[in-house]
Structure 1
Amino acid sequence: MVRWIIGLVVALVIGFCIYVSISNTLPEGLGLTDGLLKPCPSSPNCVSTQALEDDVLHYAEPIVYTDSRKSTQLKLESYMLKNGRARIISSSLGYVHFEVKSPIVGYVDDVEFYLPDADSVVHIRSASRVGYSDLGVNRERVRQIQDLLVD
Structure 2
Amino acid sequence: MPSTLLVGSSFTGSKLQIQSVVEKVAAADVSNASPGRTVCQQKGSDRKAASGKMQSETLPTKVSRRETILRSSGSALMLAFLNFAGERPDYLGVQSNPPSLALCPPTPSCISTSEELNDPTHYIPPWTYNPQDGRGRKNPASKEKAMAELIDAINTTKPDNFSPRIVKQTDDYIYVEYSSPLVGFVDDVEFWFPPGNRSLVEYRSASRTNGIDFSFNRKRIKALRQALERYGWESIGF
Same fold (TM over 0.5): yes
Deviation string, structure 1 residues 26-53 (Cα, Å, up to 9, x no partner): 1110001122111101110001111111
1:54 to 115, 118, 138: 118
Contact 1:100 1:108 in 2 (8 A): yes
2:153 to 58, 79, 85: 79
2:176: which partner in 1?
Answer: 98
Deviation string, structure 1 residues 74-110 (Cα, Å, up to 9, x no partner): 1111221222311111100110000000112211000
1:125 to 180, 199, 204: 204
Give the Cα–Cα distance (whole angstroms) in 2 for the partners of residues 20 and 131 of structure 1. Answer: 12
Q: Name whichever structure is richer in strand by fraction.
A: 2
Higher relative contact order by CA 8 Å / sep ≥ 6: 1 or 2? Answer: 1
2:192 paired with 1:114: yes
Larger Rg: 2
SS in structure 2 at match of 1:147: helix
Q: Following superposition, which runs of at least 4 residues in structure 1 exceed 4 angstroms of deviation?
A: none
Give the Cα–Cα distance (whole angstroms) in 2 for the partners of residues 14 and 52 of structure 1. Answer: 44
- The 1:25/1:14 distance shift into structure 2, 3 A limit, reads farther
2:142 paired with 1:68: yes
Give the Cα–Cα distance (whole angstroms) in 2 for the partners of residues 20 and 144 of structure 1. Answer: 24
2:92 paired with 1:30: yes
1:120 aligned partner, one-letter code: S
Identity over aligned pairs, percent: 30
1:20 to 64, 84, 95: 84
Q: How far 1:145 moved relative to its partner?
A: 2.3
Report the TM-score, using the length of structure 1 for normalisation: 0.86
Q: Name whichever structure is richer in helix by fraction.
A: 1
Return 5+ residue gaps in structure 2 as ranges: 1-54, 62-68, 72-77, 131-140, 233-238
